[in-house]
Amino acid sequence: MASLAAVIVLSLAGCSTDEPVTGPSGGPPSTGAGTGEQSKFFVSADYEAELAMLGATATGPAGKPWEQVLNPTMVDTASFKKAGPHKICFSNAALNNPWRQVGFKTMQAEVETHRDKIAEFVHVDAEGKDQKQIADINDLLGKDCDALIVSPNTTATLTPAVEAACRTGVPVIVFDRGVDTTCPVTYINPIGGYGFGHVGAEFVAQKMKPGGKVLALRILPGVDVLETRWSAAKLVFDRAKVDVVGVEFTDGDPAKTKKIVDDYLQRYGTIDGIWMDAGAVAVAAVEAFQDAGKPVPPINGEDQLDFLRMWKDQKLTAIAPTYPTYQWRTPIIAALRILDGEQVSNPWKLPQPTITEQNLDEYLDPDMPPLHYAMCGCTGLPGYPQRWK
């Protein structure tokens, strides 16, 4: 059944279907869980599109990826043209993790660079609650905002609130997580989860010793952005016939992560590759190998500085796909362009750079705190580095 599902999914995805996709053939039989059935969040068309974008060249100013667009499709915004200075409102899903903290500080700094054009920037934090965000958006609609930026907490639940905002005629800009409506002027986000998961898995599959064992560490099931990362990685591992000995959920808890990795080291003696759907606990995973006195296998993390520093200091075989925090700059830039009547791309797909051995040094900033995200595009913004500490 599992293999049948995998074959169907692979054929939908247009991948090589003439290969058996379950378990390593020829090698020793898989002792682990394998990769299991494909996620029900998997959409093969989106997957194909994201993988294609990984190789695409972005248009826009060089060295400013937050202004660049992949495969632009410009939309007319002349009807929103308005004389400044403007009042820009932002309904934020949450500030409850370091990624969103770094992102929001970056956005505030971006606002500061446009002091002449932005008279007022209103921010409302929904604290991770759908109901609060629906109420927040409703409140903001009565506050004469010239543009409304929304970072939705969940896709389906926030859709009606965003649609209601569109109906008032205010230009709406959605970024990070999406909504199920085309009414916003533009939807801004990087390539996405498939690209993230694919890059990490390709690296691990290529760098590990042939026939080795991979442990996949996921934060939690059922979240679309994380499910897409895993579903892309699963396809890579299935295709490369990698022996995935376990797929475990860490809840983003470093202690739990260390225990899981330690357990797998006890059970299999060695683990030859670690794939992660998010970098938050990458350092804990590496520490588990160090504390057990085992060599650290090829691993993917993310662009958080604690991991990048460990990568450099310990000379790890590592890669860091990113979900860049510089995307928090783009909604402000988009809002001002829309209010100037300039064309913007919809969707606005941002490049999603990967940190590798070659460019690692560019992102290592000794002055920044360990949980800072290096791909913030914020080094040139006002208040750097103090604002982000």
Binding residues (CB under 8 A) for other proteins: these are 32-33, 94-98, 100-101, 221, 248-249, 251-260, 262-264, 266-267, 269, 280-281, 283-284, 287, 291-293, 306, 369-371
Q: Which residues of 257-292 are buried (b: 16+ CB within 10 A; e: fewer)?
A: bbebbbebbeebeebbbbbbbbbbbbbbbbbbbeee
Identity (one letter) of the amino acid at 345?
Answer: S
Place of tokens 């498939």: 194
47/307 with CB nearer other proteins: 307
Q: How far is the CB of 171 from other proteins (least distance, A)?
A: 29
Nearer to other proteins, 97 or 159 (CB): 97
CB of 150 to other proteins, least distance (A): 19
Q: Which is nearer to other proteins, 37 or 48 (CB)?
A: 37
Smallest distance from other proteins to CB 206, Å: 27
Least Å from the CB of residue 252 to other proteins: 6
**Minimum CB distance to other proteins smaller for 50 or for 306:** 306
- Write down the least CB distance from residue 220 to other proteins, Å: 9
Distance CA 186, CA 173 (A): 5
CB of residue 65 to other proteins, shortest distance in Å: 24
Minimal distance, residue 305 CB to other proteins, in Å: 10
The CB-of-293 to other proteins minimum distance in angstroms stands at 8
Q: Which is nearer to other proteins, 163 or 248 (CB)?
A: 248
CA distance 117 to 87: 9
> How many Cα atoms are found within 13 Å in the side-chain-facing hemisphere of 1?
1
C-alpha 206/C-alpha 317 separation (Å) is 11
Determine the Cα–Cα distance for residues 165 and 70; give it in Å rounded to an integer.
Answer: 27
Q: Which two tokens stand for residue 323?
A: 């979900």
We find the least distance from the C-beta atom of residue 56 to other proteins, in angstroms, to be 33
Strand 147-151 to 172-175 pairing: parallel
Smaller CB separation from other proteins, 32 or 321: 32
CB nearer to other proteins: pick between 172 and 375: 375
Least Å distance, CB 289 to other proteins, is 12
Nearer to other proteins, 177 or 258 (CB): 258
53/214 with CB nearer other proteins: 214
Instruction: Specify the residue, 213 or 349, whose C-beta has the smaller distance to other proteins.
Output: 213
User: Of 152, 189, 143, 159, whose CA–CA distance to 46 is shortest?
Assistant: 189
Q: How far apart are CA 330 and CA 173, in angstroms?
A: 10
Q: Which of 280, 275, 284 is nearest to 242 (CA)?
A: 275
